[in-house]
């Protein structure tokens, strides 16, 4: 009788405590046509990584690997891919297959950037997998708000300081 209770308790214990063993970085997201996602991670000299992307529906995904920080997404206003992305010197690998895959060995130690673009047949859900385990992968966002041109900022500061100086001198002259 006691053996039955012990077996029941052990069975419930194994059902309550999940057994997980992660062998890779995995990230899942849902995006629409023309949208993109960036990730960054570091590789040491000689480290090999395998980056793969699977999707659930019929989305047309592209996968890019850069060795320098991208400053734009290379997605045109009509949600199509800008072909200038293939001419970038920082592009070290890309895949436009149905299930994109990149196998890359790092020649130097640096931070690498992954870009995923859904160029058509979306919206769709993708699953990004990076092997082997142990890489710290971080989602990276391009700034949406454009910066101010330095010339306008400096000119505005000079004009503001000049106006303050002139107004303060006029008040000082009137008091005397």
- Under 8 Å between Cβ of 30 and 123: yes
Query: pLDDT tens digit string along 1-49?
Result: 577 777 777 676 666 766 555 566 888 889 888 888 999 988 889 989 9
Q: Tell me, what's the pLDDT at 174?
A: 56
- Under 8 Å between Cβ of 123 and 32: yes
Q: Tell me, what's the pLDDT at 131?
A: 86
Identify which of 35-44, 128-137, 143-152 has the greatest average pLDDT.
35-44
Q: Where are the domains of the chain?
A: 23-146
Q: Record the pTM.
A: 0.68
Q: Is the pLDDT of residue 155 over 60?
A: yes
User: Which of the two residues, 80 and 93, has the higher pLDDT score?
Assistant: 93
The domain at 23-146 falls in which architecture?
Sandwich (2.60)
Identify the helix (H) or strand (E) that includes residue 31.
strand 25-31
C-alpha closest to that of 142 among 110, 108, 109, 117: 117
């Amino acid at each position: 009788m006691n053996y039955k209770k012990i077996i029941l308790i052990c069975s419930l214990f194994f059902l309550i405590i999940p057994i997980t063993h992660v062998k890779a970085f995995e990230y899942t997201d849902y995006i629409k046509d023309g949208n993109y996602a960036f990730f960054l991670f570091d590789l040491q000299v000689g480290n090999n990584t395998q980056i793969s992307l699977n999707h659930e529906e019929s989305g047309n995904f592209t996968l890019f690997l850069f060795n320098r920080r991208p400053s734009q997404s290379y997605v045109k206003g009509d949600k199509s891919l800008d072909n200038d992305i293939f001419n970038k010197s920082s592009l070290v690998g890309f895949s436009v297959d149905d299930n994109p895959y990149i196998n890359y060995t790092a020649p130097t130690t640096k931070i690498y950037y992954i870009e995923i673009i859904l160029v058509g047949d979306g919206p769709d859900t993708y699953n990004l997998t990076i092997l082997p385990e142990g890489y710290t992968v971080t989602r990276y966002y391009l700034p949406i708000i454009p910066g101010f041109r330095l010339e306008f900022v400096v000119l505005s500061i000079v004009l503001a300081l000049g106006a303050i100086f002139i107004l303060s001198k006029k008040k000082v002259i009137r008091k005397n």
